[in-house]
């Protein structure tokens, strides 16, 4: 797909324009309404493809749980009862079938996994992704961080997490929230941020968890913050790994998005993620 379509879609999905403006611009780039419709079908997520691990996989116990503190999706290996725990933080389209599938995939790698719905207090993530994006954009930073910390502490207390070692993985918006969580909460023992916004350089000294940072080579918007962030990590002797996936777009891990998914980059980043979490969580 022509990169100009992907860049336009990225601006739309990150709040730079409303859907009507986006569709008008897409039609202009595509040359006709019919061509724009065909392009849009490739640009948008197709959650029918979000089942690399089936919901009823017999190797896992999965359920949506809610209490007074947090609400979200647990995936737990059925064999054994002692696994490290990992928080999975969704993109800016909210809690959806793709994130549920990623949570199950990670559980099969040997982790107790929990994916909170950051929109639960607002009635839960809606089916319409544009509405979900707008709702995510309306959340206050302090509210978001509070949900992250409640979720982190909740999964850290899970009875299968007997070693009490808990990490976090986040994608896009969620990657940025992993970085914020690393600044705010020393309970985090390992953080993996996929193409996530960086925290202010002044906050870097507060980070205690090792970080694994995945970036897409074509993601100019997010990549602009890398130099200052990495300078702060180095200056403060933080433990981190940073990888740039040349030729890949933002959201390259999302296999429900035909336009941006990059299997080679996604598979390599995933293997690095699992290795990193096993190393630092045990």
**Which residue spans within 196-272 are E strands per DSSP?**
211-216, 240-245
Block residue for tokens 């996936």: 245
Q: Which residues in 207-228 are b (16+ Cβ under 10 Å) and which e?
A: bebbbbbbbbebbeebbebeee
pLDDT of residue 91: 95
- The two counts, helices (H) then strands (E), for the chain are 10, 8
The domains located in the chain, with CATH, are 1-44 (no CATH), 57-281 (3.40.50.1820)
Query: How many C-beta atoms lie closer than 10 Å to residue 54's C-beta?
Result: 12
- Do strands 112-116 and 166-171 pair parallel, antiparallel, or not at all (unpaired)? unpaired
Q: Which strands make up the sheet holding 240-245, listed edge to edge?
A: 60-66, 71-77, 112-116, 85-89, 166-171, 188-194, 211-216, 240-245
Distance of alpha carbon 217 from alpha carbon 212, whole angstroms = 16
Distance of alpha carbon 180 from alpha carbon 131, whole angstroms = 24
Longest Cα–Cα distance of the chain, Å, equals 58
Tokens describing residue 209: 């968890």
Distance of alpha carbon 42 from alpha carbon 258, whole angstroms = 6
Block residue for tokens 């020393």: 186
pLDDT of residue 61: 95
* Of 15, 2, 1, nearest in space to 221 by CA: 15
CA 101 to each of CA 15, 74, 95, 113, 156: distance values in angstroms, whole numbers, following the listed order: 26, 11, 11, 11, 21
SS3 142: helix
Q: Which residues of the chain fall below pLDDT 70?
A: 50, 68
Whole-structure pTM value: 0.92
* Of 193, 265, 269, 219, nearest in space to 6 by CA: 219
Residues 6+ apart with CB under 8 A from 46: 256, 257, 258
Tokens describing residue 45: 């997520």
Distance of alpha carbon 3 from alpha carbon 260, whole angstroms = 10
């Amino acid at each position: 797909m022509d990169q100009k379509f992907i860049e336009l879609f990225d601006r739309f999905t990150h709040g730079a324009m409303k859907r009507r403006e986006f569709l008008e611009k897409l039609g202009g780039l595509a040359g006709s309404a019919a061509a724009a419709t065909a392009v849009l079908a490739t640009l948008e997520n197709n959650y029918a493809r979000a089942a690399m691990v089936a919901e009823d996989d017999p190797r896992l116990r999965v359920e949506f749980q809610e209490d007074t503190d947090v609400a979200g999706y647990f995936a737990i290996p059925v064999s054994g009862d002692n696994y490290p725990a990992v928080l999975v933080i969704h993109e800016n389209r909210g809690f959806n079938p793709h994130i549920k599938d990623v949570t199950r995939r990670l559980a099969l790698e040997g982790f107790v996994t929990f994916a909170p719905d950051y929109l639960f207090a607002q009635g839960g993530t809606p089916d319409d992704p544009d509405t979900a994006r707008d709702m995510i954009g309306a959340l206050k930073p302090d509210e978001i961080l509070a949900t992250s910390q409640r979720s982190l502490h909740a999964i850290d207390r899970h009875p299968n997490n007997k070693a009490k070692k808990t990490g976090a993985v986040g994608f896009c918006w969620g990657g940025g929230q992993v970085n914020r969580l690393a600044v705010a909460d020393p309970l985090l023992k390992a953080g993996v941020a996929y193409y996530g916004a960086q925290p202010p350089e002044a906050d870097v000294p507060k980070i205690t968890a090792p970080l694994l940072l995945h970036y897409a080579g074509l993601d100019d918007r997010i990549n602009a913050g890398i130099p200052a962030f990495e300078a702060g990590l180095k200056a403060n002797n933080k433990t981190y790994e940073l990888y740039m996936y040349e030729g890949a777009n933002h959201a390259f891990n999302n296999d429900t998005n035909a336009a941006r998914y990059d299997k080679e980059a996604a598979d390599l980043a995933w293997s690095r993620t699992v290795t990193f979490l096993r190393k630092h969580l045990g």
